[in-house]
Amino acid sequence: AQVGSYLPASTIEEGFVDFVPDADLTPALRAGTIDPQNPYRFSLPSTWRKNRVANILSGNYCQPRCDEPTTEVLFTDSKEGRAVVIIAPVDKLGRRGKVTDVASVGTLDSIISAVGSYITGDTIEPDENVVKKEEKTIDGKLYYTYELDTPFAINGTHGLASVTLQGEVLVLFAISASDSQWDKAEGKLKTMVSSFRA
């Protein structure tokens, strides 16, 4: 079913709804890897659909101690694109010791090098594929945001992402689109990525 049939209307843009996961929706929320009282959230067009995440990708068998990144939620619209929330343990990104924000894990360049393949479904060349990158502080929390041009990527030729730290994991909101999806929905996709909080 389209998310507009069961999610509340968003205040950020007409035709959008707000998604906040229930405390028991995913293995990471149930295990406390992601704070179930303060989880990630974002807005998306009401015509999108929530897709099932395969057990192997969800971390169902390894939370709260997964060694690899896991997929939290997946939403798609065949005409507009694909959006996914992925969490990645910071110690598996080569970071040891206390982490306080995304900058304590890495730079804009090192983070996109580490997580870019989760956006594209393929390899990424930061010098060639990153169109735009910036740091944003929202409600006192630091986010890295990216726009990618990846003409040969599995997930689509265009990518948007927002990354932040929650506890001991990076939380990545990644959007991908083909050329035709991007032409139709670029503005909507950018609204989605800018709405992400974790």
pLDDT at 91 over 90: no
Cβ atoms within 10 Å of 60's Cβ, excluding its own: 17
Residue 135 has a pLDDT of 98
Q: What is the pLDDT of residues 50-76, one digit of tens each?
A: 999 999 999 999 998 898 899 999 999
What is the pTM (predicted TM-score) of this model?
A: 0.95
How crowded is the C-beta side of 83, counted as CA atoms within 13 Å?
28
Provide the residue type at 27 as one letter.
P
Distance CA 156, CA 154 (A): 6
Distance CA 61, CA 160 (A): 29
pLDDT at 156 over 70: yes
Distance CA 2, CA 50 (A): 8
Query: At 30, is the pLDDT very low, low, confident or very high (cuts 50, 70, 90)?
Result: very high
Burial (Cβ within 10 Å: 0-12, 13-18, ≥19) of residue 172? buried
Q: What share of the chain is helix, strand, coil (3-state, %, to 5)?
A: 25, 35, 40
Residue 94 has a pLDDT of 67
Over the chain, what is the mean pLDDT?
94
Residue ranges per structural domain of the chain: 3-195
**Architecture (CATH level 2) of domain 3-195:** 3-Layer(aba) Sandwich (3.40)
How crowded is the C-beta side of 177, counted as CA atoms within 13 Å?
25
